[in-house]
Amino acid sequence: MSNVLVLNSGSSSLKFQILDPKAGAEVGPQVVGLVEQIGETKGHIVLKHEGEKYELTAEIPDHTVGLTLALELMETNGFGLSNIEIAAVGHRVVHGGTVFSGPQLVDDAALEKMRELIPLAPLHNPANIAGIEVAREMLPEVPHVAVFDTGFFQSMPAEAATYAINKDVADKYSVRRYGFHGTSHEFISQEVPALLGKPAAEVNQIVLHLGNGASASAVRGGKAIDTSMGMTPLAGLVMGTRSGDIDAGVVFHLSRQAGMSVDEIDTLLNHKSGVKGLCGFNDFRDLHAHREAGDAAAELAYRVYIHQLRHYIGAYMIELGRVDAITFTAGVGENDDYVRADALAELENFGIFIDPERNKVRGGARLISTDESPVKVFVVPTNEELAIARFALSLVV
Ligand code: AMP
């Protein structure tokens, strides 16, 4: 019995899957569930099981009601937890601070530590914790495991994690680089050595997680040594709606000259910037359609995106010294062959030779560099739920 219930609890939504990590990625989850509009009068539940869809609209005042109704809906349709035995529940938690460097079996003490970390992720951690509390109450016999978005990056050396700001202030307020998307970066960096036919300990790699949120990491011998996201997920690469790296002085300028409040600047940089802020849309399919139609703003947005991406690839090549593999993943990384080609164009002097035909092929994990390319370039689909399920199971069996 190795089924894992993976829960991703947001402030007004609950996403979950039941999957068996031992069955492999191809088998897919047995149940996929989404509870939306929690806290509103008309909440909505959608479940998928064996190709069928099950829906329910009801008042869902809180996460407890949401999960209860979802589990009941599963039960009445014959695929409830009385039929599917669960070995563990894996919970996605955004911020583990410097406390959690890997998956953690949840007990009261661990939950208390997670509560103490709320100031580091005030929008996300409370919802993650609410999900854990509800699930522990409903499934008290099953072990619960928290998997942190930041965990993988706790191995970064101090020089990569430290911001050059006043040490006393930084220490007092826990200001440092934590990194995010760690579950995806760890999952991908564990898949790549098998594709290379080498032990993970011998592989130096760059992982490019390019979705609506985007981040890059440098991984040496299975351990992260650097990443582009920072104290928050705002830093690093240009993203769908987030600016990525900017001069912190921009914040003071907007405050003083535009009279914007901290919350307004937060919204501007997190939700109204990035590719969307530059040209009006954040889906890369729209971006390319507008570029082809001669839209100058879309063209500039794309160039800024690629410029910043190459900036990080270059930095990580130097940090790693020798790079065995560069891997693209997430929505843009897995689907957008223009981005992949432009990110690594004209880097033959650095041992990177993309095969244009291979780059156009769609599908699962695949090589897109030439056979002779010293640096291998891959596309590997990310699967954060499978990664969380693997981590959860690894702690309980
Ligand atoms: P994610 O956050 O990983 O779900 O990625 C979502 C993003 O992937 C979307 O906003 C799109 O920009 C991008 N995306 C999804 N499908 C495609 C596609 N076929 N071609 C280009 N970009 C895509």
- Cα distance between residue 186 and residue 169, in whole Å: 31
Nearest Cα residue to atom 10 of ligand 1 = 283
* Closest to 74 in 3D by CA, of 43, 45, 94, 44: 45
**Cα-based angle 147, 207, 106 (whole degrees, multiple of 5):** 5
Same domain, 138 and 220: no
**Domain extent for 109:** 4-148
Query: What are 308's two structure tokens?
Result: 């910043």
Q: Which CATH number covers residue 230? A: 3.30.420.40
Nearest Cα residue to atom 16 of ligand 1 = 331
Q: How many domains does the chain have?
A: 2
- Cα distance between residue 389 and residue 91, in whole Å: 9
Nearest Cα residue to atom 8 of ligand 1 = 331
The H or E element that residue 327 is part of is strand 325-329
CB atoms within 10 A of CB 274: 26
**pLDDT single digits (tens) 117-131:** 999 999 889 999 999
- Cα distance between residue 384 and residue 191, in whole Å: 13
Position 226 in a domain: yes
Q: What is the pTM for the complete model shown?
A: 0.95
Examine the fold and report which residue of 127, 148, 169 is the final residue of a domain before the chain moves on.
148
Catalytic annotation present for 149: yes
Same domain, 213 and 361: yes
Instruction: Report whether residue 21 contacts ligand 1, using a CB cutoff of 6 Å.
Output: no
Same domain, 80 and 219: no
**pLDDT single digits (tens) 8-19:** 998 899 999 999
Terminal-residue alpha carbon distance, the chain: 10
The catalytically annotated residue of 149, 226, 295, 342 is: 149
Output the average pLDDT for the chain. 96
**pLDDT single digits (tens) 308-320:** 999 999 999 999 9
